[in-house]
Structure 1
Amino acid sequence: MTPAPYDLAIIGGGAAGALVAMHCLARDPGMRIAIVEPRAALARGVAYSTTRDEHLLNVTADRMGWHADLQGDFVAWLQAVDGEGAADVGHDFMPRRRFGDYLAARLADAAASGSVVHVHEHAVACEDAERTVLLASGERLHARACVLATGNASRPLPWPVPAEVAARVCEAWDLAAIAAIPPDARVAIVGTGLSMVDIVLALRGQQHRGAIIALSRHALLPLPHEPTHMALDVDIDALAMLPLRARMRRLRALAAEAMAGGLPWQGVMQALRPHGVRLWQSLSPADQARFLRHVVRGWDVHRHRIAPQVVDMLDAMRADGQLRVDAARLAAITADGGQVVLHAAAHGAGASRCWQVDHVVNATGIQSRFPVAGDALQASLLAAGLARPGPFGLGVDVDGDGALRDRHGTAGAHLFAIGSLRIGAEWESIAVPDLRLQAARIAARLRPAARSS
């Protein structure tokens, strides 16, 4: 490490951290940046570190890129790397690992001046009026500003797992553990969202023959993209003035009108895509709470869509009986002779149910509460008063540029967050278009202050 302070410390070296670094360097190529990331590789994180080709991007290649003004840059990179074979990939749902390769390459290009240092450490605290990052080794890293780009932590199962079957229960993002599941094992996946899709794809890719059961309270699966990504005409100003119930009625009516006219309902969601933060923040706190209680799961499956060929594969696996999707409110996990038993609470007049399986995979989603249990950095921020929980305890409270609000609600000029940490304040905060917009705004805010403060 250099004895002089860095201009910026980025805690987390996944996609979000890489985007912050690239946007800052695009504005100021001489900015001195430390990326604190224990992993060996930068720019990948959880989503893009997969090596499996069956794990696809959820949008087509021509809609991906590190900068909103460089749409098509990912395709250009693919063509440069793959040659003529990549000439027509713009409308393809490419493997996620290729986007990780692209981000790593573009970050390396941006950092060619040597102004970026990869610090292979865990950050455990921020100290000294937001200007010092304490590392797990005990060293201190001094920076004029800091961005929390810590990525997504998985939400733990809400029930204790008996010790005798703990080795048979793993996380959705633990691909090594999933690869070790025997091909004839009966597998239960807790959750039916995007992580569940990844697990099923991985199991199928490794020639899994056993039954797969996906369980969630609503049993809703992600819906497909339509090929054109056409955005329909939606009056966003009028929509933002409506309370939640009227807003949802209006969106359902717009989707029905589109389909009656031979247009895809997805075009309504596509029109909303650039306005997610505004639509969330225009709801009253009471309506935001209603959304989180009653609407969120239906919203997610319509909003976070997947490649049509993946939907076709899931449908085929359900049709041949290998994949089953059940609605259940799980209440406990027990052990029975080395097998794992999942118990569902009785609902209404219905009897309680249980599923006896060989392996369980937790795919309940990302941990959005702040602070995350066991996260030393988040605990330190809260204890020092440098951060406070966001609305409904989701993520951290931030201003419009992502600057953390302290315990008194005052946004500082030196400590920022990007990604899922902003979910309570902004809701739409985890997809690449959200991340690159957040990165651009952080870079713009930092440029005049990074070297003068």
Structure 2
Amino acid sequence: MQSHDIAIIGGGAAGALVAIQLLARADASTRIVLIEPGDTLAQGVAYSTRQPEHLLNVPTGKMSAFAGQPDDFLAFIAARAPRIPRDTLAATYATRREYGLYLQDRLQQAIAAARTRLDHVAARVLDLDRDADGTVLTLDSGATLRATRVVLAAGNTPRPLPARGASALAAPRRVDAWDYAGVAAIPAHADVCIVGTGLSMVDAILTLAANGHRGRIHLLSRHALLPLAHTTAPGSVEVDIDGLLAMDLRARVRQLRRLARAATAQGLPWQAVMERLRPHGQALWRSLPEHEQRRFLRHVVRYWDVHRHRVAPEVHARMQALRDSGQLQLHRGRLDMVAAGQRCVQVGARRADGSFLNLDVETVINATGLELRIQAMRNPLLEALVGRGLVRPGPHGIGLASAPDGALIDADGRPQPALRVIGSLRIGNLWETIAVPELRVQAEQIAVDLLGQA
């Protein structure tokens, strides 16, 4: 059985950031393995897209993989576009493909400069068990390997289509928004229904538009809210963060509305208020008692998301043009059923007033977002961890419970310093834990802690 000091489970962006930080600090005796079924590291689903229309949702100047080197991604892009002024590049929105290449490049640099090596095992971890000597990982190949410390950097899990008949609807009549090739293969004349109106919906629409789509595009979601745009207008506002943290949820919402109205009255963009809140997202979440967090999840989260998770101005303009032309139609309702007929897919939804919406389309695209509930993820490794009592679901049943340093908390409430978690699985404790600014901080902290460095 192979033995390693540190095993990283997952080779997407989060796993790659942990590997980079470990390689920068580890000595020659430290054995590190990264377990990722794919051949390509450092990209995951989000950054593996090859579609040039899929842009980052954050300007280039704010996307460095390293907190201590805030211009690192900007330098990478500037080297590829030397004739464009850096100030101009900093405000642009690079493609997600470029960001994936950036992470790959920085991982390769870290491997080349390291005193130790990074082993890549192309497999999927199905089980994890603890014994007196550490951790034993069982792979889908049947092989096992041992590690003293483990970092769980599992990627995002798409939510299944929430409708009767969904399991019987197969490709090409049902396509996941993250199946970029599947979306690109939809015939240009086809009428399409996209279920969900978050950021994965935006990807699907941009791909359809880039391919010259002529058919109708129906959008369906319970609240019919679309992502809002970043602004190009300069401006900053003052927000009393400490005062906001002391408020209950209702008072916070009212205060943010007042601040947005005040900013607009002064000729400043309302987005400036959200930018001021951005570094404090975790504190805002943790300062709410659990019953207030539940209220947020029930009543506020969808409105928060469209203001917090904004898109590039050019992306928003493209979507608005499709709406203005009538090709893109927005419907508010709860998906009830999908059924494949001989020539089309029937989509049925219930509106808020109790009436029914019926659509006949050729393809349904599932853009319902990420599955946050551990029990619904259908992940063999997570099921095994819960079954063994090595982990427990996070607050409200979303993500995994973790300590402030990322140590997983077992069924008895005890932190396990040798088992760490990074990224989306910390959402119940942190809420803001998916974007690069949070991932880069978590990755560095985990590397320092696991290597015993101050």
| TM-score strictly above 0.5 | yes
- Checking the alignment, whether the CA contact within 8 Å between 1:60 and 1:94 is kept in structure 2 is yes
Change over 3 Å in CA distance of 1:372–1:34 after alignment to 2:
farther
Q: Which residue of 2 is the match for residue 277 of structure 1? A: 282
Letter in 1 for 2:130: D
Letter in 1 for 2:118: V
- Tell me the distance in 1 between the aligned counterparts of 2:225 and 2:278: 21
Q: Which residue of 2 is the match for residue 427 of structure 1? A: 431
1:444 CA drift (Å) = 2.2
- Checking the alignment, whether the CA contact within 8 Å between 1:165 and 1:338 is kept in structure 2 is no
1:195 CA drift (Å) = 0.4
- Tell me the distance in 1 between the aligned counterparts of 2:234 and 2:369: 26
- Tell me the distance in 1 between the aligned counterparts of 2:169 and 2:157: 23
Q: Aligned match of 2:402 in 398, 405, 416?
A: 398
> SS at 2:91's partner residue?
coil
Whether 1:150 aligns to 2:154 is yes
Q: Which residue of 2 is the match for residue 329 of structure 1? A: 334
Change over 3 Å in CA distance of 1:143–1:369 after alignment to 2:
same
- Checking the alignment, whether the CA contact within 8 Å between 2:229 and 2:312 is kept in structure 1 is yes
- Checking the alignment, whether the CA contact within 8 Å between 1:240 and 1:279 is kept in structure 2 is yes
Q: Which residue of 2 is the match for residue 386 of structure 1? A: 390
Q: Aligned match of 1:141 in 141, 145, 153?
A: 145
Q: Which residue of 1 is the match for residue 358 of structure 2? A: 354
Long gaps (5+) in structure 1: none
- Tell me the distance in 1 between the aligned counterparts of 2:77 and 2:450: 31
Whether 1:41 aligns to 2:40 is yes
Q: Which residue of 2 is the match for residue 126 of structure 1? A: 128
Letter in 2 for 1:186: D
- Tell me the distance in 1 between the aligned counterparts of 2:320 and 2:79: 36
RMSD: 1.8
More displaced stretch, 17-26 vs 199-208: 17-26
Whether 1:407 aligns to 2:411 is yes
- Tell me the distance in 2 between the aligned counterparts of 1:131 and 1:153: 24
1:85 CA drift (Å) = 5.0
- Tell me the distance in 2 between the aligned counterparts of 1:321 and 1:398: 47
Change over 3 Å in CA distance of 1:164–1:416 after alignment to 2:
closer
Superposed counterparts of 1:287-326, under 5 Å: 287-326=292-331
Whether 1:25 aligns to 2:23 is yes
- Tell me the distance in 2 between the aligned counterparts of 1:10 and 1:254: 43
Superposed counterparts of 1:86-125, under 5 Å: 87=86, 88-112=88-112, 113=114, 115-125=117-127
Change over 3 Å in CA distance of 1:80–1:29 after alignment to 2:
farther
> SS at 1:333's partner residue?
strand
1:321 CA drift (Å) = 1.0
What percent identity do the matched residue pairs reach? 48
Q: Which residue of 2 is the match for residue 259 of structure 1? A: 264
> SS at 2:408's partner residue?
strand
1:77 CA drift (Å) = 1.4
- Tell me the distance in 2 between the aligned counterparts of 1:177 and 1:161: 20
- Tell me the distance in 1 between the aligned counterparts of 2:152 and 2:167: 35
> SS at 2:40's partner residue?
coil
Change over 3 Å in CA distance of 1:303–1:373 after alignment to 2:
closer
1:227 CA drift (Å) = 2.5
> SS at 2:439's partner residue?
helix
Q: Which residue of 2 is the match for residue 54 of structure 1? A: 53
> SS at 2:220's partner residue?
strand
Q: Which residue of 2 is the match for residue 11 of structure 1? A: 9
- Checking the alignment, whether the CA contact within 8 Å between 2:61 and 2:73 is kept in structure 1 is yes
- Tell me the distance in 2 between the aligned counterparts of 1:230 and 1:386: 48
- Tell me the distance in 2 between the aligned counterparts of 1:143 and 1:330: 45
- The C-alpha deviation readout for 1:138-168, integer Å capped at 9, x for no partner, is 1112112111111101000122436774220
More displaced stretch, 231-240 vs 378-387: 231-240
- Checking the alignment, whether the CA contact within 8 Å between 1:346 and 1:353 is kept in structure 2 is yes
- Checking the alignment, whether the CA contact within 8 Å between 1:402 and 1:416 is kept in structure 2 is yes
More displaced stretch, 42-51 vs 152-161: 152-161
1:229 CA drift (Å) = 7.1
Change over 3 Å in CA distance of 1:86–1:140 after alignment to 2:
farther
- Tell me the distance in 2 between the aligned counterparts of 1:433 and 1:228: 23
Letter in 2 for 1:331: D
Long gaps (5+) in structure 2: none
- Tell me the distance in 1 between the aligned counterparts of 2:33 and 2:181: 30
